[in-house]
Amino acid sequence: MDKNPLLDEIEDILRKDPSRMFSREEILNMLAPRKRDADIEHLLAELEVSSSTKDGNQSDVYATCRGGTVYYKWNRTG
């Protein structure tokens, strides 16, 4: 099964600046002109769950909640 192109776009955003944490709202704003918010929200929720259910080093994306805001960060160095 092929990866979702929208998921690729989200991962590309995170990969471009792997040391930075992006808020859910920032990612929504970056992709909003081209994609539906509901689709983006769905994939971000999947990434958040995937990050929390895997050992920290097994997930490509690290997600955390701080002060009620969810942040995403690329979790691979290579």
Fold of 5-74: Arc Repressor Mutant, subunit A (1.10.10)
In degrees rounded to 5, what are phi and psi of residue 77? Answer: -100, -20
Q: Is the pTM of this model over 0.75?
A: yes
pLDDT digits 0-9 by tens, 37-68: 899 999 999 999 988 886 656 788 999 999 99
> Pairing state of beta strands 61-66 and 69-74?
antiparallel
Distance between terminal CA atoms of the chain?
Answer: 23
Domain ranges of the chain: 5-74
Confidence band for 1, pLDDT divided at 50, 70 and 90: very low
Report strand pairing: 22-23 vs 61-66: unpaired
